[in-house]
Structure 1
Amino acid sequence: MRGAVYDQARARWIAAEAVRGGAAAKNRPADLINVALEKVVEAGLELPAFSTFDTMAAKIRTEVNTSVCAGIHDRMSAAERAGLLEVRDTDGTTLFNRLKKPTQGPS
């Protein structure tokens, strides 16, 4: 068995691709970091610093989430987008406010 190879550029590239692929299905930074760690170890490379993984996961997760939101926005008509912000209730709550509420736990 050989030791880990020092190639930080390749390790970062592999980690970034793993995070980018995982971000479509996972949103927690810890899960994304674990995916990246697994791929870098599989490649037999020396691990970058944890802060590198942490920063990378946050940045790429933001990019992927922004892309998902933009895709949803683009699929909605102008009337649908306007409907999200119309006042629906006497307390001023809009449909958009209701969409942002977290779901209830299973009962």
Structure 2
Amino acid sequence: MYQLRIYEVNPEKRVAFHERFQNHAMRIMKKYGFNIVALWESVTASKLEFIYILNWPDMETMERQWKVFLADQEWIDIKKKMDLDIGEPVLKATGRVLESIEYSPVSTISVP
């Protein structure tokens, strides 16, 4: 099962966002079993988006691990500090579960 995550990022806080995600979010996510498949950035005239895909064994695991990640005290403190220092860089966050259909080429790919 895959999960698509899209964050609209304040362009003025782009560098700080990427530093936080790369140096902190990914490390803490790994602690909770998040399997990040790929990361992208999409820039248009109207917005900057950070997009990534996670791979989960099932819905229950995904929901449980997001809860523990978001409740992680280190992550809470990192976000709070950034908010106080420069403001939250994420303007909007969305996510959706992607269920592979039987004839999709990805349905035959095994992701650890």
What is the TM-score with the length of structure 2 in the denominator?
0.27
User: Relative to total residues, which structure has the larger strand share, 1 or 2?
Assistant: 2
Higher relative contact order (CA closer than 8 Å, sequence separation 6+):
2
Name which one, 1 or 2, has greater alpha-carbon Rg. Answer: 1
Q: Which protein has the bigger helix share?
A: 1
